[in-house]
Every structure is written in C-alpha cells, then in structure tokens.
Amino acid sequence: MSSSIAQLAQALRERKTSATELTGQAIAAAKNRAGLNALITLDETGALAAAGRADAVLARDGASALAGIPFAHKDIFCTNGLRTTCASRMLNHFVPPYDATVVEKLAGAHAVSIGKANMDEFAMGSSNENSFHGPVKNPWDTARVPGGSSGGSAALVAAGVVPFATGTDTGGSIRQPAAFCGVTGLKPTYGRVSRFGMIAFASSLDCGGMLARGAEDCAHVLAAMAGHDVRDATSANRAVDDYVGALSKSLQGLRIGIAREYFGAGIDAGVGAAVQDSLKQYEKLGATLVDISLPNAALAIPAYYVIAPAEASSNLARYDGVRYGHRCADPKSLEDLYTRTRAEGFGAEVKRRILVGTYALSAGYYDAYYLRAQRVRRLIANDFGEAFKTVDVIAGPTTPTVAFKLGEKNADPLAMYAEDVNTVAVNLAGLPAISLPAGFSAGMPVGLQLIAPAFEEAHLLNAAHQFQLATDWHARTPEGAA
C-alpha cells in the first residue's frame, strides 16, 4: 500500500474504494509478508468490524482524513480486549481492560487497526532482535535488522502493508528504525502525545509517535494523536497546531544548524555523503546552513544509559507475578515467586538494564551515577537551547551506519548502544525530531534527522515535507512491497 494517506482518503471520499476493501488489502499483505515477523497479533475480525464502522462514517460528510485508513499499533499500547504483550514473555497473555489514549484517539478518527506490531521487549533495543516473538527482518534486506525498538512498525510501512503505524521513542526507537527501513518517523515533543496506556520503559523519556511514508502522512496522524490528557500528568496542556496547514510554507530563510558532533568519527562515509547531498537540496530550497556545536553531545550516550535503566528498574518492578502477567509455577515462597517469575519472564536485555538501573540507584552510587547523569542531561538541554538562538532546526545523520546484519552486534551491548549516538540527546532534552529518507548507502536506506525546539512540530514537518516534494527518496520501496 504505497499510496499516501491523502491519496487514500481522496479515493475513499470519491467512493473509488472502501475502508473494508483497504483493510482487506492490508490484511492480505500482512499475511503475504508474514516472513518479516513484523506483527505479533493480526486482528482480522476486529479490523473488518472497524472498517465497516468507518464505511458508515464515510457515507456521511465530515469524516476525518484518517477515516477508513488501515494501520498497525506498536504492541506497547494497551488495547481493550486485544492481547498486548510488549514483546515479552512476561505479558504474553495479557489482555488489557482499557485502551491507551493514543488507541482511543485513532479509533475516534475511525482509522482501522489491523493488529499489533512486533518490537524489542519493553522497547529496550536498537535492532528488534530482543523480542520474545523473534526478530523482525528488514524489508530491504531480510538478512538485516529493521532497527528498534519500533522495528515491526517500520517494517510494515516499508513493506507497504499499511500506510502508517504507531511507535514509541525513548532514545531513538522511532527515528532509528525509520532510517534503517527508508520511511519517515516522527518523535514529538515530550508531553505532546499522551503516555496513558503506553506501557512504561523510562517515564521521563518515553514518547509516542508514528512512522509513515512521508511527512504529510505524519502530520495527519499527529493531528489525531496530539493533545492534552488529564489522565497523564506529563501531558502538555497547550493547543494543538495545524500541522497539515503548515506544510506548504516556503523554506526561504530557514536556518539549519549543522552540528559538527554529528559528523565525527564512527559515521559511515556513505551515510555522511547522502546526508550532505540532502543538505545541498535544502540550500536549493532557500535554506541557509549554519555551523554549530553541541559541546556535550558525547555525554548523551553515557547519561542516557544511566537514566533510562534506572527508570526501567523502577517501572518494571511491578512485574512480580502477583497481580498480572507471567507467574512461575508452584512458588515455594514469596522470594521464590519474585525471583523465578522475573527470571522466566524477562529476556536478557531487559534483565541487563534492570541490573544496571538498580545498581545506579543503590545507596552509595546514586550521587555518583544517577544524579550526575541528570546534571549532564541539563547541560545537553542547555546546548540545544543555545543552538536554537541562532538556528531554526538542527540536521545530521539519524544513525551512523545503515542497517546492520542480524546477530552482528548481539555479543557486544556497547556497540549496540552506540547506534543511538545521534538520537538519545533529543529524548534527554524532550525535543521533537524527525527522520526522513535521504538516499542510500551500500543499497540500504539512509536517514536524515531534523531536530526542532519544543512544540515546533509544525515547522519540523514543514521542513521535511518541502524536502520530500523536491526528492523521491521517501517514495522508494523495497522489492515485493505491497
């Protein structure tokens, strides 16, 4: 399904197709591309029922742009009556009694969910190899990873199964898979999208967003997802901008900051060349490139991998075999219940991060690690603040390399963590960022990342959309795409 949301919406309005027909096509495509392992749960019955309701709405005037459009939810969003696993054995049979706010909002727009996308367990990973349900494969090369943790969502969009999918981004988990799979991925400002019903990894970093073919599609989806939610104490109480209306603005005079730290050692030559070519395209569109520095960028990875595991250690303490989720058989004591339930229920990467986080929060180490990381976090946010006094957006490669081979980095966690080098700082500062296709290196997609000040998603989407009007990287699809 390579058509954009706007194209599909027009076809629905003109009665050239129906929501039921589009949903049937998406379900068929999902089955045809089952080898990608991008879906955990295919909700065929629920999807066709929702499509029927969408067709009834489309028969009347006033339907939203998303009405009747099929999509997939990352399996981290709670769905009432539909299994939500977070790609973990711990929640393999968990069926929530309520919907996440993101689920409610998209259902309210009459978009049609076909099921739940695969992901790294509890959103912990950069390759989507940490899933209890097995790794997802990249549609461009099935011997390579799709990126993580929203790898299933990215693979479904890249393969043309659905025009968009929801995702979450704690340290790059929307943008990195978007770059690896050649699609567009938007991480909004922290607090712009409600976290209610989104299973927590690191509460001060988690952010809901989406992956789609292009920035215009992301604008339509964000318009439906964004807004204040009284059920989420971190939700921003401010008006939602007209994201779609802002797309057509000229980029004449746009100041793009080029952070030298994003083009340093470790960046693959082909990735760097593709991004530099994209920046030249921005100059043709009227933008000005400005050299800037983010002095504390090198500290983002160590700070993130203290703060995020610390919050994970706290959040995942709730999975103890008592209230819900996996429970070990025949526990001999309360300690035995806790120990065996958690040992059986969590995968290796989740256990590693819990151990790191618990250590960082322990007596005697809190000040040395966690408190110091929080101070570095403030320095990183200040760097962005200073940069945005002279530029409108900041640009650089989304990832230092293209998608790597399945299993290539599993034996070296630090090498895996280094894949997030250009993305984690955005989460530490709570800023919006987007990854958009910007060319190819060694036959694999390259992502360009744009970062904006807080709540400037409209300007970010405008900058991305105007680039995509002038290029066709986002329209390229892998062989066999639906």
Query: Is 293 part of the annotated catalytic residue set?
Result: no
Phi, psi of 430 (to 5 degrees): 75, 25
Q: Where do we find the tokens 């969009």?
A: 157
Query: Is 74 part of the annotated catalytic residue set?
Result: yes
Angle at 167 between CA 161 and CA 172, to 5 degrees: 120
Single out the residue of 256, 33, 35, 259 nearest to residue 162, CA to CA.
33
Quickly count: other Cβ atoms within 10 Å of residue 45's Cβ. 8
Single out the residue of 33, 431, 470, 34 nearest to residue 207, CA to CA.
431
Query: Is 149 part of the annotated catalytic residue set?
Result: yes
Q: Where do we find the tokens 């229920």?
A: 345
Quickly count: other Cβ atoms within 10 Å of residue 322's Cβ. 12
Asked if 321 contacts 344 with a C-beta cutoff of 8 angstroms, the reply is no
Which residues have CB under 8 Å from 325's CB, separation 6+? 90, 91, 94, 319, 345
Q: Of these residues, 150, 173, 194, 278, which one is catalytic?
A: 173
Asked if 149 contacts 125 with a C-beta cutoff of 8 angstroms, the reply is yes
Residue 248 token pair: 């057509």
Q: Of these residues, 18, 74, 113, 435, which one is catalytic?
A: 74
Q: Of these residues, 149, 153, 235, 435, which one is catalytic?
A: 149
E strand or H helix at 433? strand 433-441
End-to-end CA distance of the chain: 5
Catalytic residues: 74, 149, 173
